[in-house]
Structure 1
Amino acid sequence: MMMLSIFHWLSIALALATIYHYFRQNLILMKKRKRLPPGPKGLPILGNLHLLGKNPHKDLAKLAKKHGPIMHMRFGYVPAVIASSPEITEKFLKTNDQVFANRPYHEGAWYVSYEQRSITFGQYGLYWRNMRKLCILQLLSGHKTGSFQLMREEEVGLLVKSIKKAASDGSAVDLSDEISSLGANMSCLMIFGKKYMDKDFDDRGFRDVIQEVMHLGAIPNLGDFFPFLGVFDLQGLTRRFKALAKVFDTFLEKIIDEHLQLREEKKTKDFVDIMMGFIHSGASEFEFDPRHVKAILLDMLLASMDTSVTAVEWAISDLLRHPEAMKKLQKELEEKIGLDRIVEESDLEGLEYLDMVIKESMRLHPVAPLLLPHESTEDCEVDGFSIKKKSRIIINIYAIGRDPKVWADPESFIPERFKGSNIDIRGKDFRLIPFGSGRRSCPGLQLGLTVVRFVLAQLVHCFNWELADNIQPSDLDMTEVFGLVTSRAKHLRVVPTYRLHG
């Protein structure tokens, strides 16, 4: 009886302990669930994918108004957290920068950028840190980018001559095409050492191919969110990414071969020479071969060409819609430079209204409205909420730029809002971070900003502009095409009039 009694009580105790453990674990799980950021309810399997349309930055901004500046969503099997305020963004990109310094797997980047060996999409780690350091010191240093100043001035001068010729007979010009050609020429000269024609690249030309990869790269890919579906390629994205990868690889192979053949003869080193020299020196402390060189060169081409061009297009569009702002900028340029010569890069310092226009345009039309997604490398806590490892972090700078809690009259184009303001766009002030912030901020920020300021100043100083086809400023179509770079849906057609004396 004694043994039975002991066994009986032990059984009861074990049962109670099991029940206690079960409820305790469930309580912990419930608390964890409660600590997830708020967000919209999802559908089985799909999660919240059905809530995203053609302009996900706008869809997410609307959802943030309902659910708050830190929002939890699920895209298929991928948990995501969306930041839509400066305060929350700072906690991700500054306070916990290292935890969120990784990039998630991206099928397009896997094929196009040589298994994500680029700086833009590369996994955070020793290789990525060393490559970023190499690029900043060797390719994007102030000295190196400054050495291309004469080239930039010559190319922009050629653009002015081309538009001036059209202006002489009152013809309309496709300013989008003109600026695109300028971007391709400057990028090729800086990176590859010479200009390449569209036919040297692909039948469609530089910009069409680059815009395709930017557009496809931003489409929600079922293979990324449902790995088991990847093999079926239901959207045809894998096929198109592979085709694009072949175009880029053929072009880059050609360039590298040309440089190897001329290596001994060249006196001036471009980006390709520097990168190939790094391979041949054997100085690398990590794996480094032609795949890495091509990935970095492609990074440079995509980043330098399309982003700057798009930023200039949006700024000119904003000025065309607001003639009074155009006149103010022209007046500043007249007072600081005069009407007897074109703008030089050395003139850019001190052009206060020019900087205000660029900030305001980048606030309203950020080139990358969702930045590129980050990925958490470990479980952590942000603003009192639990963020799981492998969560995708999306920073909606479009929502921040249109937030009435941050900006007065946020939908209006008002460059004067920055007068006397200490708001900067270099990643320190989280109200305006068009180039990102923290470890994953754009390494070519200074070069990109120089190009945007210089080209915009030149176009506004040299010409008066009217919209073609009798379109009124208020009727200018500002529709966007969402992508990794979000550009104008329609090309900008304008009629220029040369305004300088020379």
Structure 2
Amino acid sequence: MPIQIAKKMVAYQTLIVPLVSFLLFIIFLHKRRSTAAPQPRKRLPPSPRKLPIIGNLHQRGVYPHRSFQALSRRHGQLMLLHLGKVPVLVASSADAACEIMRNQDLIFSNRPKLSIPDRLLYGSRDVAFAPYGEYWRQARSVCVLQLLSNKRVQSFRRVREEETSNMIDKIRQLGSSSSVVDLSEVLVTTTNDVFCRVALGRKYGNEDGEGRKINKVLGEFVELLGMSSVGDHIPWLGWTSRVDGSDAKVKKVAKLLDEFLEGVIQEHRDRDKGEKVSDDGICGDGGLDFVDILLEFQTENKGSSSVEVDTIKAIILDTFAAGTDTLASTVEWAIAELIRNPRTMKTLQNEVREVAGTKEEIAEDDLEKMHYLKAVIKESLRLHSPVPLLIPENQLRTRK
């Protein structure tokens, strides 16, 4: 019995000694901080009241841009939110956005590391989510000079005109039947077909098993890019993504996309280089697509450029996310607003008929003469921005 009591006493001592030491250490730190010279408080923008742990996450709502707009009416055009542990500066006016994006662009040029885009885009090796630095500058230069130059964009004119003509024919066929025409589906299919021909060299949007599977994966990819992980805001709750299934979904989509893009790149490598460009220099089907251009650039600048296979894949996914759903959404909203405003639709129809004359199809050159059409598109973008919230930017250094 005395031996057992002695053992218990020793066990208690082994627990009490470190506990008392820890408490004394905490008291010492608290007193040291209280006696230290007070630091001048930084002037922060106005902020709504935050809750413990989650901050203002509960105020994001289903449509964050609408929630932020409502909050900005109360707290001003520059507003500070706390999304979990992450402080977020929200600019809700043209003047504030101009100050950040133009006058202070270098300070706010970095990107925070977001877990979902980081996994889908090969460690953020794209342009949209890559951190500011030498790699980002090289990748952006490749996109601007090699893929999106005015000459390159014009070279894909035939692809755009052909797919637009196919879309009109499809709408005409569906309209002649008694079935309901789903314009949303038609527009998404058209933008996907244009992207596949321009970026990948051929269409993958057919109705067979392969086409449906690829379209589904690409749709899930865009959907996941618009999601945020709890762990990005509250790091110690990152495990919840493994419980709710989002972690497994990201892993699955990333794997399927990588397999698909690896097959596309291998297909381009195996293709006969001598038959890649047509005699008339037209790009697209039978010509140079984005994958061809990036592979060619990689070969010509081997050793002096940071463009690798993962970079090519990430840039291709960037162009898909930026140029498919956004375009389809813009056209869909423009049509919806024209239906709601018959007088505007009538004015636009008169302009199109006047410019087109007796021609059966409108060419891209004709669009330059349609000033009212441009005004309609700009007004539609003002009312229904396809990307109401820009990709978050990270502050590189403290500013006044």
1:340/1:301 CA distance change after superposition, 3 Å: same
Query: Does residue 67 of structure 1 match 2:75?
Result: yes
Residue identity in the other structure for 1:89: A
CA distance in 1, matches of 2:224, 2:321: 14
- 1:337 positional shift: 1.5
Q: Which residue of 1 aligns with 2:124?
A: 116
- 1:215 positional shift: 3.0
CA distance in 2, matches of 1:348, 1:203: 33
Instruction: Answer whether contact 1:201 1:247 (CA < 8 A) is retained.
Output: no
Residue identity in the other structure for 1:295: A
1:271/1:238 CA distance change after superposition, 3 Å: same
CA distance in 2, matches of 1:189, 1:102: 32
Task: Select the residue among 152, 160, 163 that pairs with 1:155.
Answer: 163
CA distance in 1, matches of 2:394, 2:383: 26
Give TM-score scaled by structure 2 length. Answer: 0.84
- 1:238 positional shift: 1.9
Instruction: Answer whether contact 1:49 1:76 (CA < 8 A) is retained.
Output: yes
Query: Does residue 132 of structure 1 match 2:140?
Result: yes
Q: Which residue of 2 aligns with 1:243?
A: 252
Q: Which residue of 2 aligns with 1:436?
A: none
CA distance in 2, matches of 1:201, 1:314: 30
Residue aligned with 1:79, SS? strand
- State the identity as a percent: 36
**What per-residue deviation string (whole Å, max 9, x for no partner) do you get for residues 343-375 of structure 1?**
110001121111111111111110010121111
CA distance in 1, matches of 2:350, 2:332: 21
After the TM superposition, which parts of structure 1 deviate over 4 Å for at least 4 consecutive aligned residues? Answer: 21-24, 198-205
CA distance in 1, matches of 2:272, 2:124: 28
List aligned pairs for 1:115-264, cutoff 5 A. Answer: 115-169=123-177, 171-197=179-205, 199=208, 203-206=212-215, 208-233=216-241, 234-264=243-273
Give TM-score scaled by structure 1 length. Answer: 0.68
Query: Does residue 315 of structure 1 match 2:323?
Result: no
1:76/1:202 CA distance change after superposition, 3 Å: farther
Residue identity in the other structure for 2:265: I
1:76/1:289 CA distance change after superposition, 3 Å: same
The structure richer in strand per residue is 1
Task: Select the residue among 263, 273, 276 that pairs with 2:292.
Answer: 273
Task: Select the residue among 94, 99, 102 that pairs with 1:86.
Answer: 94
- 1:22 positional shift: 5.1
Instruction: Answer whether contact 2:205 2:211 (CA < 8 A) is retained.
Output: no
CA distance in 2, matches of 1:132, 1:284: 18
Residue aligned with 1:82, SS? strand
Give RMSD over aligned pairs. Answer: 2.2
- 1:227 positional shift: 2.0
Residue identity in the other structure for 1:261: D
CA distance in 2, matches of 1:232, 1:172: 42
Query: Does residue 303 of structure 1 match 2:311?
Result: no
CA distance in 1, matches of 2:187, 2:110: 33
Query: Does residue 341 of structure 1 match 2:371?
Result: no
- 1:167 positional shift: 2.8
CA distance in 2, matches of 1:158, 1:213: 26
1:279/1:165 CA distance change after superposition, 3 Å: same
Residue identity in the other structure for 1:156: T
- 1:320 positional shift: 1.4
- 1:286 positional shift: 4.0
List aligned pairs for 1:364-443, cutoff 5 A. Answer: 364-381=383-400
**What per-residue deviation string (whole Å, max 9, x for no partner) do you get for residues 120-169 of structure 1?**
11111111111111111111111111011112111111111112222334
Residue aligned with 1:295, SS? helix
1:178/1:203 CA distance change after superposition, 3 Å: closer
Unaligned runs of 5+ in 2: 1-30, 278-286
Instruction: Answer whether contact 1:319 1:325 (CA < 8 A) is retained.
Output: yes
**What per-residue deviation string (whole Å, max 9, x for no partner) do you get for residues 166-216 of structure 1?**
23345431111111111111101100111113556564552x444433333
Residue identity in the other structure for 2:38: Q
Residue identity in the other structure for 2:182: D
- 1:83 positional shift: 0.4
1:194/1:218 CA distance change after superposition, 3 Å: closer
CA distance in 1, matches of 2:175, 2:327: 24
Instruction: Answer whether contact 1:100 1:377 (CA < 8 A) is retained.
Output: yes
CA distance in 1, matches of 2:176, 2:222: 36
Query: Does residue 363 of structure 1 match 2:382?
Result: yes
Unaligned runs of 5+ in 1: 1-17, 382-502
Query: Does residue 288 of structure 1 match 2:307?
Result: yes
Larger Rg: 2
1:279/1:200 CA distance change after superposition, 3 Å: farther
CA distance in 2, matches of 1:218, 1:235: 17
Residue aligned with 2:38, SS? helix
Instruction: Answer whether contact 1:112 1:241 (CA < 8 A) is retained.
Output: yes
The structure richer in helix per residue is 2
CA distance in 1, matches of 2:48, 2:181: 46
Q: Which residue of 2 aligns with 1:54?
A: 62
**What per-residue deviation string (whole Å, max 9, x for no partner) do you get for residues 312-365 of structure 1?**
111111111212211111011112212542211000112111111111111111
1:203/1:348 CA distance change after superposition, 3 Å: closer
- 1:282 positional shift: 3.7
Residue identity in the other structure for 2:267: E
Residue aligned with 2:388, SS? coil
User: Is 230-239 or 285-294 further displaced after alignment?
Assistant: 230-239
Instruction: Answer whether contact 1:189 1:195 (CA < 8 A) is retained.
Output: yes
